[in-house]
Amino acid sequence: MFHRKSKLAVLAVTFLSTVAIVSAASGQQSRLEITPFVGYNVASDLYNSFSATNPGTSTVGLENGLIWGGRLTASSPHGGVEFAYSRTSTDVKIKNLLQGQNRDHVGKIDIDMYDLNFLAYQPGMNPRVTPFGEIGFGWSVTHPKIDSDLLAASGSQSVEGNTLFNFNFGLGLKVAMNEKLSTRFEGRWRITDTSITTSSGFWCDPFGYCYSYASDWYNSGEFIAGVSYAIR
């Protein structure tokens, strides 16, 4: 469920993106493109096991998985600005099971990401191939779903999602196929502020083990390929 501040945050990014894209697309040499994409999301750990004698022997983390979405990009020959939406769905699992833990699957989480990105192009000798760098910021909206039997065993209620600030940066390559179509390949690193200080957030499973938050910054990688179509 969205909180009021969460809704305002997403609306603010969408509004700023729209204004920036419209402004950038008003130039004579500008292009306005839409890019559906699909790729591979590289996830990391959320929690470390909490023990005074043997800490860090077990972790709770997200599994690598599919990421997909779309971008609306306004660009000139040397740079551009875009609004991007991405979604990834992944399993939450315990890694390195401890004594008494009879399962590794904890649940699933869906993450919606809304970004305002800024692109810088570096034209090369081949006019059809354009390397680029990008940096952006936005919000990630989480939708966790813990397995019902684990919730019942631990006496917990369903976990609510959050809207979290994130920023990303990366490198890519754009290859023109004709005047309207081009392919786009990129790799980016995303850093999300979890709003929880390291080791201050705790989660205990029904098997008697407790975990502390691994970091107040969650890191993930993305490898993406898409096809861009020039609207104008």
Mean pLDDT by 10 residues, the chain (232 residues): 50 58 59 96 79 62 93 90 95 81 84 95 90 95 84 67 91 95 97 67 70 77 97 84
189, two tokens: 């690193």
- Among 173, 153, 69, 39, which residue's Cα sits nearest to residue 106? 153
DSSP character string of 189-221:
EEEEE-SS-TTT-EEE-TTS-EEEES-SEEEEE
Q: What is the pLDDT of residue 185?
A: 98
Q: What is the pLDDT of residue 186?
A: 97
Answer whether 0.85 is exceeded by the pTM. no
Q: What is the pLDDT of residue 20?
A: 57
Counting the structural domains of the chain, the total is 1
Q: What is the pLDDT of residue 1?
A: 40
Q: What is the pLDDT of residue 198?
A: 44
Q: What is the pLDDT of residue 144?
A: 86
Q: What is the pLDDT of residue 129?
A: 94
Q: What is the pLDDT of residue 154?
A: 63
Q: CA-CA distance, 38 to 41, in Å (whole number)?
A: 10
| Residue 172 belongs to domain with CATH number | 2.40.160.20
Domain range spanning residue 198?
4-230
Q: What is the pLDDT of residue 93?
A: 86
Q: What is the pLDDT of residue 76?
A: 86
Q: CA-CA distance, 21 to 231, in Å (whole number)?
A: 13
